[in-house]
Structure 1
């Protein structure tokens, strides 16, 4: 016959009681939406992807040539000059860096656009353009106007990728507040040849 000592039985009963108590504390969340279940538990997964929610972009003032900060794009081979209007640079609550870029060809042609880039996804979007002689921004009406497009690092004149990689992003995060982005652009701006 097996004999149980008093201490062994008490320890077993305590363990059984603790297990039952813990099992009773578990909630199943039945009938509760997943978001409410997470909110009520207070648990936040720091590694969970957070959905991107873009804020409304307000168009900036038109760029002035005297304000433009030039930057180099390695693949441009002197066919184009690139510059950013520092007054247009902003970093939104959505972590989108928005800026006006001015691209001038060696023949004098000029493209001006107001764009946004996302460091976390390495994507860009064009909000508006400024055709030659236009008195105001023209909102992007293209098929991809509402889409974020992956930046290309190897395509010719990959200026957006250059801005992201060299000035606006630190890995997958924004490199800082607009003042810092402007300071970095100015610090590495190509020197203009003197007369």
Structure 2
């Protein structure tokens, strides 16, 4: 009995399973650099792809501009978001979603004349599945990302948004 207690009292030989993988991912994230981006043209109504936001407001209609979708070498999906209220208000933003970290960033705000204004204090923030940013969670989970990886090229993402019934989801 003394020998077994002594064995239990010995320190473990290492940090445990998964530690090396965790440290490799942490090192990769620490070294991550955001790629340069270019602001897209103002969205046209004919290029908008609508989608459902399960936890979003029923008074809002959500869409992205198909022509603005890009996938950077940095693993960020960039796109123009167009959110309209049933009362006629329209918010246009150019944003990015980083699949590896479950974060979003608003780069610019669309103006009524079709120009962009840089977003003040633009920085990466964690996506919230509820409230005013629930649409980013819906895009992350349903179209842009899978297992912290981008689901494919910009063309793949647009195709999946045009034909959402074709996306295979685990049961």
Partner of 2:20: none
* Structure 2 gap ranges (5+): 1-22, 166-171
1:79 counterpart = 2:59: yes
* Structure 1 gap ranges (5+): 1-44, 190-195
Post-superposition shift, 1:46? 5.3
Q: Deviations over 1:33-73 (max 9, x none)?
A: xxxxxxxxxxxx95562111001110011100011000010
Post-superposition shift, 1:77? 4.3
> Could you tell me whether the CA contact under 8 Å between 1:73 and 1:157 is conserved in 2?
no
Match of 1:139 among 118, 143, 166: 118
Q: Distance in 2 between matches of 1:73 and 1:48?
A: 31
Kindly tell me: are residues 47 and 97 of structure 1, through their superposed partners in 2, closer, same or farther at Cα, counting changes over 3 Å?
closer
Q: Deviations over 1:82-135 (max 9, x none)?
A: 00101000000111000001000010000000000101000000011113x223
Tell me how large the CA RMSD over aligned residues is: 1.7
Q: Deviations over 1:123-177 (max 9, x none)?
A: 000011113x22311111x23x1x1000001234510111001000012001011
Partner of 2:163: 187
> Could you tell me whether the CA contact under 8 Å between 1:84 and 1:102 is conserved in 2?
yes
Q: Distance in 2 between matches of 1:90 and 1:54?
A: 14
> Could you tell me whether the CA contact under 8 Å between 1:75 and 1:157 is conserved in 2?
no
Number of aligned residue pairs: give it.
141
Q: Distance in 2 between matches of 1:64 and 1:163?
A: 20
Match of 2:39 among 52, 59, 64: 59
Partner of 1:107: 87
Alignment of 1:12-51 (within 5 A): 49-50=27-28, 51=31
Q: Distance in 2 between matches of 1:56 and 1:101?
A: 19
The alignment's TM-score, normalised by the length of structure 1, stands at: 0.68
Question: Which protein shows a greater Rg?
Answer: 1
Post-superposition shift, 1:75? 2.1
The alignment's TM-score, normalised by the length of structure 2, stands at: 0.77
